[in-house]
């Protein structure tokens, strides 16, 4: 069993309130959960308007399957123009 964990910090420059930030995050996190076999959540900077940290995990029997899920999830995050991924850390368990 291979577990992959991606932690990425992101900036949402146009957010002027926590409500706007959460609206943007909801538009990103919902398709991530629906399209890929992953778990995703906001885990940091929850009280900051324009800064967030998202954690994505995937579990599979091979490292290649986990890498595929995580890389496609990151590509989907990068496809949204309202959010910029700044720092990304990957851990393997």
Q: Where would I find the beta strands (DSSP E) of 1-93?
A: 2-11, 39-44, 51-60, 84-92
pTM: 0.91
pLDDT at 57: 97
Nearest-angstrom CA–CA distance, 83 and 18? 14
pLDDT tens, position by position, 19-50: 999 999 999 999 999 999 999 999 999 999 99
Q: What pLDDT band is residue 9 in, cutting at 50, 70 and 90?
A: very high
Report the chain's mean pLDDT, rounded to a whole number: 95
pLDDT at 43: 96
Region 49-73: mean pLDDT is 96
b/e per residue 40-74 (b: at least 16 CB within 10 A) = bebeebeeeeebbbbebbbbbeeeeebbebbeebb
Residue 39 is predicted with a pLDDT of: 96
């Amino acid at each position: 069993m291979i577990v992959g964990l991606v932690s990425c910090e992101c900036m949402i420059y146009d957010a002027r309130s926590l409500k706007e930030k959460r609206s943007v995050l909801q538009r990103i996190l919902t398709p991530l959960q629906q399209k890929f076999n992953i778990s995703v959540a906001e885990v940091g900077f929850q009280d900051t308007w324009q800064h967030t940290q998202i954690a994505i995990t995937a579990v599979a029997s091979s490292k290649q399957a986990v890498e595929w899920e995580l890389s496609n999830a990151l590509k989907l995050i990068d496809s949204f123009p309202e959010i910029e991924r700044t720092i990304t850390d990957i851990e393997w368990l």
